[in-house]
Chain A
Amino acid sequence: MNDLLVMARIADRRCAFRADHVQSVIELGSITPIPCAPDFVAGITALRSQALTVIDCRQAIGVDRVELKSDHRAVVVSVEGYSYALVVDAIEDVTTGLEQTDDVAGGYGEMWARIASGMVETPTGPALLIDLSALIAGPDEFGIAV
């Protein structure tokens, strides 16, 4: 496991996205809200001529609604042909993953386990590797209350 990883903080936890899943990191402009969409969908925003669905990762994971700051940057990923902008607390760095463990003793906790595809060691410490499709599916489908 020597993949490049994009490191971010979500709900004050260190998380990692595989760099080859990440199209770019953007500065979020104005977001058009979508009435009647799930809560964790913040809206849509434009990236060049693309329309991105903006997902608030904190709410998508199901973290309690505490006021969490964001540095107004988002990770752009593509899942099954659709592009999403993921809002995180902060984007930290791009680094090399050293070693991936699929399971850790004691697990990550119910909320995190749903969106985790494992734990990854990096030069700056361990991080949770995010399973994108699970993240984007949102908490509702798994019956976890937001």
Chain B
Amino acid sequence: MDELLAEFVAETREMLEAIEGEIIAWEADPSDRARLDAIFRFVHTVKGNCGFFDFPQLASLSHAAEDALADCRAGRRAPDSAFVNAVLAILDRISQMVDAIEKEEDLPGGDDEKLVAALSPGGGNDDASAIGDGNTAEGDDSPEEFDESDAGMPGPNQPASVPSVQRTIRLPVELLDRVMSGVSDMVLARNDLAHRLRKAGNQPTIDSPFERLTSILSDVRDAITRMRMQRIETLYNALPRLVRDLSAELDKQVDIVMEGGDVELDREMIEMIRDPVTHIIRNAIGHGIEPVADRIARGKREAGLVTIAARQSGNTISIVVGDDGHGLDEERIAQKAVASGLISASRRAAMDREAIFQLIFQPGFSTAEEVSNVSGRGVGLDVVRDNLERIGGGIKVSSTVGVGTLFTLQIPLTLSIIPGLTLGIGSQRFAIPQSYIEEIIHASSRSLDFTHVGESAFVTFRGNRVPCLMLDEVLGLDEAGTSWSERTLVMLRLASGDLFALGVDHIHSHGDVVVKPLAPLVARSGLYAGTTLLDDGQPVLLLDVTNIAARHRLVSPAGTRNLAAAEETVDSAVSDAPRAMLFTDHDGRRCAIRLELVTRIERAEANVIDLSGESPHAVIDGEILPVIGLPDGPLPSEKLRFLRLFDGACELLFAVREIDNAVQLFETLHPEPGDPTIEALTLVEGRTVALLDGYALFARHGHPPEAGNKAWCRLPETDWAQSFLAPLVQSAGYRVVNGTDYREAVAIRFDSDADTDWAEPGETPPVIVLRERPDAPEGSQTIYRYDREGLLRALDQASKARIDAGGQS
């Protein structure tokens, strides 16, 4: 197989994976133009490519799909579920064919005509069977696919003589581990050096090479990490399809919510947990979620909800899969276990609820009344548990009858670098993984109300009563004397969705920490997930947030979070005192700005600021944003903090010296007419605070987004148009849009494009027609595509026409 073909296979497969989620989203919302376009682009590319390689079968399939989708795009037909099924079936078939091409086998023959026929309106009668075929084939093929594409080794079905086509090499895992730990040692050495340099003061001759070292190191670290890591998204991508197919098959309605897709896992681990996760979701849909009628009868939302959330905590990743179905039935599980001889009746009597739940992990256990082809496949949760334990992880289940079931998978991570927050209690410091942290608040803040109920402490946070732990009590430290009101509360959100507050004395810093495993005799205490070294070389312990919460019984049994989340939004609307973000600006003023305006707190190096223009700008995440609030004179050398403000249309960065807290403004607001930038003065905790006038800020500094006042110009969807034409059109003051858009002022098309939805020359919107050849046919209004002057003239005329039209109306 030559390289070109290998590229084709790899590209097609990549695109297939990428649009997997799109197609489901499109079905949910058929009016979603962007999704439809993405799918269309895929079949279009496949069609184009296979014309090149001579795969007539593949070409005719993709051609049929393209035609049908084009109809859909042009609005000639509406995408109903039969249509989506038919498209899905074709995508599956394309995927099978690509597999076959890679193995240099004959393309799977058969009922292509049937698939194509299903596309035509009213032709979707046998689509269910087509879908079924597609699924099984896909399921069988996927492990092999991994072997070939990721490991670069011949799969079991591949003739041994075929050379591996992926340009990959195989390395022993130990070598990778050694390199990784070497790099993380380098990170620590750098941190140590940084610390010493800071102490020694500014030394320009050393600082700049050191900066270089830092950036190189972070590049290397990223690359090394990626060598083994993959985002868990790769696992998530296939889930919407799974949920869709299964729920359609079982005639249930199920939505899936996925969180934490950016959590990274070892490649091998992802493959290992793929089956368990799929299995649990199958179970959740097959056994957990009730049929629609039952759900309505129980007053639940019509569509069931399956949630999957990934969180990293020290050296483990926890993946929580939950459903809001009818929960595990303790009694039925027990009966079943007794009946199948797993336990004796007398033993059952002695078992508590938790112990009975554990029975579902026993070999040979299945509660399904009848074996369906969905969940009763003979693979039980025992296999799932075994698989996880084999890789050093574990699985837990909790459930509430009528509310739902929650499976927690723990997966180990041998070495990792995670963002963490260092905090202090007394004289000691500890670290917490950033991913848990929801918010940090001073306990003295007025928005909090602290109460004791029996031995337990609670704070009222945004109208919710949240359990509160004091770190010194958790750790059994004797730190008498600090009253709770001097504490800082770190609000932690667990993977199960539960929120709790952890009271600490100080917050030190945040940054990337390298997590090292703990010696077993320390790990046994259950409080720590690992150790890490701070910049100054001092080791600190990483708190095991999940375990601490579990010990204090703060983890809710099951899926109550969705209810809780709903209540949260209701409660937060009750209190009507305005909320504001408190901060100190670079002039040392204590200021506040209404919280609704603040979208994010940004931290950035001073070098992102560009002072060259009329007003300062900064580049954050690839966007150019105006900056206000900078100090006069030189910029501070260390990292700058900004409040990112958004008024619904444009964004501003407000540079601040220090960010204090989000507060509620209970005191009277005294209007301040003297200073136009200040809305009012008010008191917060007895001190005056200037509440900035957001209206004035945006009126003075906000630039409306560029697109707002520009006319749209529609371009053909060809590479040439995108890479040659688009820059020219943009420089003429237009914003480029693909596809039909009614805001469009001008359209540009080729004379060869005979698509009917393009307007003719002379109509509104104005259309500029390009021709491929320099010499114009007789009487043609077309412009040669490389006639820059002619094109600009035509655009100019069009924009004048637009202004005239604007003036008249």
Is A82 a contact of B517 with CB atoms below 8 Å?
Answer: yes
Is A38 a contact of B538 with CB atoms below 8 Å?
Answer: no
A32-B538, A46-B538, A49-B514 known; A82 vs B520 contact (CB < 8 Å): yes
Is B522 a contact of A53 with CB atoms below 8 Å?
Answer: yes
B contact residues, range: 20 to 34
A45 to B428, CA, bound (A): 14
A41 to B522, CA, bound (A): 8
* Chain A residues near B540 (CB-CB < 8 A): 32
**Nearest chain B CB to A142 CB, angstrom units:** 14
Q: Closest residue of chain B to A44, judged by CB?
A: B539
* Chain A residues near B518 (CB-CB < 8 A): 53, 82
* Chain B residues near A36 (CB-CB < 8 A): 475-476, 525, 527
* Chain A residues near B476 (CB-CB < 8 A): 35-36
Tell me the A34-53 residues at the B interface (CB within 8 Å).
Answer: 34-38, 41, 44-46, 48-51, 53
Is B184 a contact of A49 with CB atoms below 8 Å?
Answer: yes
**Nearest chain A CB to B751 CB, angstrom units:** 67
* Chain B residues near A50 (CB-CB < 8 A): 516
Is B527 a contact of A35 with CB atoms below 8 Å?
Answer: yes
Is B525 a contact of A30 with CB atoms below 8 Å?
Answer: no
Partner of A30, one of B184, B475, B522, B538: B538
Partner of A35, one of B185, B475, B519, B520: B475
Q: Does B189 contact A (CB under 8 A)?
A: yes
Q: Does B307 contact A (CB under 8 A)?
A: no
A136 to B519, CA, bound (A): 10
Q: Closest residue of chain B to A31, judged by CB?
A: B539
Is A45 a contact of B539 with CB atoms below 8 Å?
Answer: yes
Is A49 a contact of B522 with CB atoms below 8 Å?
Answer: no
Is B521 a contact of A48 with CB atoms below 8 Å?
Answer: no
A113 to B452, CA, bound (A): 51
Tell me the B500-517 residues at the A interface (CB within 8 Å).
Answer: 514, 516-517
Is B539 a contact of A32 with CB atoms below 8 Å?
Answer: yes
Is A48 a contact of B185 with CB atoms below 8 Å?
Answer: yes
Is B475 a contact of A32 with CB atoms below 8 Å?
Answer: no
Number of A-B contacts (CB under 8 A): 65
The DSSP consensus for interface residues of chain B is mixed
Q: Does A33 contact B (CB under 8 A)?
A: yes
Is A49 a contact of B188 with CB atoms below 8 Å?
Answer: yes
**Nearest chain B CB to A54 CB, angstrom units:** 10
Q: Closest residue of chain B to A52, judged by CB?
A: B539
**Nearest chain A CB to B48 CB, angstrom units:** 52
**Nearest chain B CB to A14 CB, angstrom units:** 26
* Chain A residues near B516 (CB-CB < 8 A): 50-51
Is A51 a contact of B533 with CB atoms below 8 Å?
Answer: yes
Is A38 a contact of B185 with CB atoms below 8 Å?
Answer: no
Q: Closest residue of chain B to A36, judged by CB?
A: B525
**Nearest chain B CB to A80 CB, angstrom units:** 8
A41 to B541, CA, bound (A): 14
Is A51 a contact of B428 with CB atoms below 8 Å?
Answer: no
Q: Closest residue of chain A to B475, judged by CB?
A: A35
A34-B541, A36-B525, A137-B521 known; A46 vs B477 contact (CB < 8 Å): no
Is A32 a contact of B428 with CB atoms below 8 Å?
Answer: yes
Is B533 a contact of A138 with CB atoms below 8 Å?
Answer: no
**Nearest chain B CB to A146 CB, angstrom units:** 14
**Nearest chain B CB to A56 CB, angstrom units:** 13
A contact residues, range: 20 to 34
Q: Does A17 contact B (CB under 8 A)?
A: no
* Chain B residues near A46 (CB-CB < 8 A): 533, 537-539
A38 to B519, CA, bound (A): 12
Contact with B along A101-137 (1 / 0, CB 8 A): 0000000000000000000000000000000000011
Q: Closest residue of chain A to B534, judged by CB?
A: A46
Q: Does B528 contact A (CB under 8 A)?
A: yes
A93 to B620, CA, bound (A): 59
* Chain A residues near B528 (CB-CB < 8 A): 34
Is B531 a contact of A44 with CB atoms below 8 Å?
Answer: yes
**Nearest chain A CB to B62 CB, angstrom units:** 53
A51 to B476, CA, bound (A): 23
Is A38 a contact of B521 with CB atoms below 8 Å?
Answer: yes
Is A49 a contact of B185 with CB atoms below 8 Å?
Answer: yes
**Nearest chain B CB to A26 CB, angstrom units:** 13
Tell me the B508-561 residues at the A interface (CB within 8 Å).
Answer: 514, 516-522, 525, 527-528, 531-533, 537-541
* Chain B residues near A30 (CB-CB < 8 A): 538
A140 to B14, CA, bound (A): 56
A51 to B517, CA, bound (A): 9
* Chain A residues near B517 (CB-CB < 8 A): 82
* Chain A residues near B184 (CB-CB < 8 A): 49
Q: Closest residue of chain A to B181, judged by CB?
A: A49
A46 to B189, CA, bound (A): 12
Contact with A along B202-221 (1 / 0, CB 8 A): 00000000000000000000
* Chain B residues near A49 (CB-CB < 8 A): 184-185, 188-189, 514, 533
* Chain B residues near A51 (CB-CB < 8 A): 516, 531-533, 539
Q: Closest residue of chain B to A53, judged by CB?
A: B519
A108 to B522, CA, bound (A): 29
Q: Can you pick out 21 interface pairs between chain A and chain B where the beta carbons lie within 8 Å of each other?
A: A30-B538, A32-B429, A32-B540, A36-B475, A36-B476, A36-B525, A37-B525, A44-B522, A44-B539, A46-B537, A46-B538, A48-B185, A49-B184, A51-B516, A51-B532, A51-B533, A53-B519, A80-B520, A82-B519, A84-B519, A137-B521
**Chain B positions near chain A (C-beta within 8 angstroms):** 184-185, 188-189, 428-429, 475-477, 514, 516-522, 525, 527-528, 531-533, 537-541
**Chain A positions near chain B (C-beta within 8 angstroms):** 30, 32-38, 41, 44-46, 48-51, 53, 80, 82, 84, 136-138
Please list the 4 inter-chain residue pairs (A to B) with the smallest Cβ-Cβ separation, ordered nearest first: A35-B475, A49-B188, A49-B185, A53-B519
6 new A-B contacts at CB < 8 Å, known A32-B540, A34-B528, A50-B516: A33-B428, A36-B527, A41-B521, A45-B539, A48-B188, A49-B184
